[in-house]
Structure 1
Amino acid sequence: MVDIVDFANDLVQERIDKALAARAALKPVMPSNSSLFCDSCGGAIPEARRLALQGCTHCVTCQSFNELREARYAR
């Protein structure tokens, strides 16, 4: 026999599931595979970087340069 507590619990769980689905839909989609070579300079991206940062497309040097440039022009 279903009572009011079971009904309330099902209702709350349904709302939680909908909220989590909406939150997941807003997350940006990141590429899952990292590039072997940098998009900017064409140099090899070290394996440690590719494993640590999924979806990376730039080597450390080019990424640092891009971040500095973005910080300078963000003002």
Structure 2
Amino acid sequence: MADACDIATDYTERELARHLEAQRARARLATAGEHSAMECVDCGEPIPKARRTALPGCQRCVPCAEIEESRSSLSASR
């Protein structure tokens, strides 16, 4: 049975992997110019072709874009 340290270590490893993949995605985008990302820079999930076509240069999937917009609007209102 896993104890609290094992659970925390597993969580940390998953989060680190997720952040590293997002960083790699951003690096790939830096060389791609204004083209839409194939994968979300935040979560790494594929961005559907319809979204990439409708919004050239998009970097985030819809859920992550909505989260970012919420954060931006909260910061602007302060």
TM-score (ref. length: structure 2): 0.55
The match for 1:38 is: 40
Which structure has the greater CA radius of gyration? Answer: 1
The match for 1:56 is: 58
Query: Structure 2: which 5+ residue stretches go unaligned?
Result: 1-32
* In 2: Cα distance, 1:32 partner to 1:51 partner: 12
TM-score (ref. length: structure 1): 0.57
The ranges of structure 1 where at least 4 consecutive aligned residues each deviate by more than 3 angstroms after the TM superposition are none
State the identity as a percent. Answer: 42
Looking at secondary structure, tell me which structure has more helix per residue: 2
**Count of paired positions:** 45
* In 2: Cα distance, 1:34 partner to 1:46 partner: 10
